[in-house]
Structure 1
Amino acid sequence: MNAPLPREAGSRVAQVAAAIRARIAERSLAPGARLPSIRKLAAAMQVSPSTVVEAYERLVAAGAIRARRGSGFYVCGPSAPLTLSALAPRLERAIDPLWVSRQALETDQGVLKPGCGWLPSDWMPQEALRRALRTLARSGADAALADYGTPLGLPALRQLIARRMAERGIAASPDQIILTESGTHALDLLCRFLLSPGDTVLVDDPCYFNFLALLRAHRAKVVGVPMTPAGPDVERFAAILAAERPRLYVTNAGLHNPTGAVASPAVAHRLLRLAEAHDLTIVEDDIFADFEEEPAPRLAALDGLERVIEVGSFAKTLSASARCGFIAMRPDWIEPLSDLKTATSFGGAHLASHIAFAILADGGYRRHMESVRTRLTRARQRTLARLGALGIAPWVEPRAGMFLWCRLPEGRDAAAVARHALGRGVVLAPGDAFSASRSAAAFLRFNVAQSTDPRIYTVLAEAMAT
């Protein structure tokens, strides 16, 4: 509540009241907290004292605050349940990360989902999953089927993950790895471990839209760093570090979501030098590692897991149902993070860990991923051609992965296109859902594996014609 109100908005009294309600909803004004004095708030918001008086009176009448004679105004309690949508400016539903996620998850099988972030189910190793479940059921491994896992997770899978990470140049012992229930669970644990409400977190702009929603849940201040085809804009990165003093930087390793860009070695080295100079911790989300034809530079490999934390998951390549992820980090943080995992999820994902190990240890997994990469290459070429015929152009042409970050023709708004498409049974992912600065209104993210149906392009053509 320390910024002037926009002049074009509605009633000044209503705006002051709404600003106070927002602070209460996001819990930066806790129950019992004293509100700013009338004069102080009037000066901060550039309104008259009488406007603040009327706003306070409305909130008293609504039971949101109470007045104490000679003392001022105080927030009534207790806190309302946490509502994530109240922790950020109200967004149009088409670009709200939470709403976009729900549309992709809740719609039925008849809805086309070129905006979603996963492979079609028939691209996944379903027979290998069935075989792993049958093997576990026949083996008499009752602990795998029914018991809790250990705090760090299945030792055999952690050993296998350590070997796989070494193939990408990341040296980590199995004792530096904690298994989690998913990549999202891993990021949530790290936010609980490292952040306090109000801490600043840097993300790429654009970035994976659930980063924005998750950081909102942890009441972090999110600042975007513009992306370039060679990685984050390091000059802006340096300037933001100096100005904001962030606690974390959350980014993708290898293939970037949503753009498909890959950080160059020069950019990776500069990012690490800047992080060291500003005591910044980096969380590198590496869930698309197995989609790469050739490994891109890993910050965790260059840094040796000193200030970089590596996160991974098998939801994109094995199963989004039997989910399993992991965290690799510096040794002295493992025990306190293990305690936090025990406190928040006890010994979860034990069965999923056994399933993941059974499939990953089988040579068939490498053949499966070779097939997926070939199919994605073909799908990417077809999708580029179909979009190009509509005047929709890629920001970069990715060398691997499932995503295309595409610019619409001049004057077209992605949110409007997404609204039209949803009405026709097609779920799209408009650019501003991925952008902390809301500067991607002309972009859509396409999942090429989910963009094979010709109806998608018919609906896009209709939307472009309106």
Structure 2
Amino acid sequence: MASPNGSLVTQLVREIRGRIAARELAPGTKLASIRAQAAARRVSKTTVVEAYDRLAAEGIIESRRGAGFYVAGHPPPFTLAEAGPRLDREVDPLWVSRQSLEMPEDALKPGCGWLPPSWLPEAALRRALRTVARGSAGALIDYGSPPGLAKLREHLARRLNGFGVPTAPRQILLTDSGTQAVDLLCRFMLEPGDAVLVDDPCYFNFRALLRAHRARVVSVPYTPTGPDIAAFAQVLEKHKPRLYITNCGVHNPTGAYLSPVTAHRVLKLAEQHGVTIIEDDIFADFEAEPSARLAAFDGLERVVQIGSFSKTVSASLRCGYIAAKTDWIEGLTNLKIACTFSSGQLSAELLLAVLQDGSSRRHVETLRARLADAMSQANTRLRGVGLVPWVMPRAGMYLWCELPEGLDAADIARHALEENIVLAPGNVFSPAQTAGRFLRFNVAQCANLRIFEFLQRAVR
């Protein structure tokens, strides 16, 4: 029976770990043999074996074949400077991601791109874990098929058809994320130096990915109804881009919507100039009524649609998709094998279980209601400190706000880090660097009034 302080294995692990941390056991010291340790403590040899195995798995001790177990070298001391954000980091397309992911858990993150954990379906995820654990062992330990879990592709095909995008399961390739979907498409279509068109402003990771592919990024100003069509035509004529990468539904970062008229004009120009469009639909569930989608008008002929569920289900379930014309899926599947070999079957099984859970529809409806309330509150508070939204979104989680004349968003974001607040300055989203007076706010992350107290001081 375990003691009040835990099992015999846990007690032994804790004691040895403590002696090593206190420098009583120096690096290179040989531990007592399994037989001697068991005899000295009057426990079974199995108990000692398990304790040593745990310590070895942590890297605290190491096994030397035929010689026993030894204390491993101590790691270099961890400093407080390593725990905090890099205040001198360049404000580039990776700035918001690095700061948001590296800041401590208690930091305020109105600049990040995800919902608070308490807003996501934890109970459904736990049910899904139990369901998958009781199912076939293949989901837990085997490689998945390269195209991805067939049942999930069938589910996604029904979902896309519901959004007006005619799709068959064979036209869907599962990926590890929406980001990997863009990465695969860039590998599939681009050569270094090719021009790629993005919105200005656009999702900052589009810029970071294209830079990694050594593409030549060109941009077109975004308006409240979509890309500026006159500028769009000029860029296509001048730079002859291979791809146009954009959001559909709720635009990131502006919260604007693509109008049907603009969508038709974009598709007509893309056809004239031989441009393929990658349309990111990651925010689909935030809309009660689907807005215009290029893939719906085009039927997946010139448009490729991608997405994932990191915003509405879980960022830990790395599962996205590509929906494209059938003859492209074969080539993309081969490329996926070359890059990642297989699909994340466990993530796909878990995601499917959550999407088929009886609470899924209610969860999405609750999210929309909470976001609408948060949008209203954040809008009122931001206006109260002098920040004006560029457009009022009909749905979603972003407000794209302009600072008063003479203020620089990057400077304000750097000062915010000193108060444990992560903001998203406008120029990380702007290829032309024309958004120096803008900040993007995630309204779901704006509940803490300390954010607005800081902004009040910053805009004085």
The answer to whether TM tops 0.5 is yes
Give the Cα–Cα distance (whole angstroms) in 2 for the partners of residues 194 and 391 of structure 1: 44
Q: Give the structure 2 partner of residue 461 of structure 1.
A: 456
Q: Give the structure 2 partner of residue 281 of structure 1.
A: 276
SS of 2:459's equivalent in the other structure is helix
Q: Which amino acid aligns with 1:99?
A: W
Q: Give the structure 2 partner of residue 415 of structure 1.
A: 410
Give the superposition deviation at 1:98: 1.3
Q: Give the structure 1 partner of residue 221 of structure 2.
A: 226
Q: Give the structure 2 partner of residue 384 of structure 1.
A: 379
Are residue 335 (structure 1) and residue 318 (structure 2) matched?
no
Of 98, 106, 111, 1:110 maps to: 106
SS of 1:343's equivalent in the other structure is helix
- Per-residue CA shift, 1:310-352, capped at 9, x if unaligned? 0010111110011210000011111111000001011132111
Give the superposition deviation at 1:95: 2.8
Matches within 5 A, 1:319-398: 319-398=314-393
Are residue 236 (structure 1) and residue 252 (structure 2) matched?
no
Give the superposition deviation at 1:99: 2.4
Give the Cα–Cα distance (whole angstroms) in 2 for the partners of residues 243 and 463 of structure 1: 41
Q: Give the structure 2 partner of residue 87 of structure 1.
A: none
Q: Would you say the 8 A contact 2:386–2:459 is kept in 1? A: no
Q: How many correspondences in the alignment? A: 373
Give the Cα–Cα distance (whole angstroms) in 2 for the partners of residues 300 and 93 of structure 1: 38
Q: Give the structure 2 partner of residue 268 of structure 1.
A: 263
- Per-residue CA shift, 1:142-192, capped at 9, x if unaligned? 011111110100000000000000111000100000000000010100010
Which structure 1 residue ranges, 4+ long, deviate > 4 Å from structure 2?
none
SS of 2:352's equivalent in the other structure is helix
Give the Cα–Cα distance (whole angstroms) in 2 for the partners of residues 191 and 366 of structure 1: 34
Are residue 157 (structure 1) and residue 157 (structure 2) matched?
no
Give the Cα–Cα distance (whole angstroms) in 1 for the partners of residues 243 and 104 of structure 2: 37
Of 419, 422, 436, 2:431 maps to: 436
Give the Cα–Cα distance (whole angstroms) in 2 for the partners of residues 411 and 428 of structure 1: 18
Q: Would you say the 8 A contact 1:94–1:419 is kept in 2? A: no
Are residue 127 (structure 1) and residue 120 (structure 2) matched?
no
Give the superposition deviation at 1:94: 5.5
Q: Would you say the 8 A contact 1:95–1:431 is kept in 2? A: no
Q: Give the structure 2 partner of residue 98 of structure 1.
A: 94
Aligned Cα root-mean-square deviation (Å): 0.9
Give the Cα–Cα distance (whole angstroms) in 1 for the partners of residues 134 and 327 of structure 2: 39
Query: Where does structure 2 lack aligned partners over 5 or more consecutive residues?
Result: 1-87
Give the Cα–Cα distance (whole angstroms) in 1 for the partners of residues 382 and 391 of structure 2: 14
SS of 2:94's equivalent in the other structure is helix
Q: Give the structure 2 partner of residue 145 of structure 1.
A: 140
Give the Cα–Cα distance (whole angstroms) in 1 for the partners of residues 307 and 97 of structure 2: 20
Of 289, 314, 318, 2:309 maps to: 314
SS of 2:420's equivalent in the other structure is coil
Give the superposition deviation at 1:100: 2.0
Give the Cα–Cα distance (whole angstroms) in 1 for the partners of residues 90 and 458 of structure 2: 15
SS of 2:241's equivalent in the other structure is coil
Q: Which amino acid aligns with 1:118?
A: W
SS of 1:226's equivalent in the other structure is strand
Q: Which amino acid aligns with 1:137?
A: A
Q: Would you say the 8 A contact 1:208–1:434 is kept in 2? A: yes
What percentage of aligned pairs have identical amino acids?
A: 60
Q: Would you say the 8 A contact 2:398–2:442 is kept in 1? A: yes
Q: Would you say the 8 A contact 2:124–2:357 is kept in 1? A: no
Query: Where does structure 1 lack aligned partners over 5 or more consecutive residues?
Result: 1-91
Give the Cα–Cα distance (whole angstroms) in 1 for the partners of residues 300 and 91 of structure 2: 35
Are residue 401 (structure 1) and residue 396 (structure 2) matched?
yes
Are residue 194 (structure 1) and residue 169 (structure 2) matched?
no
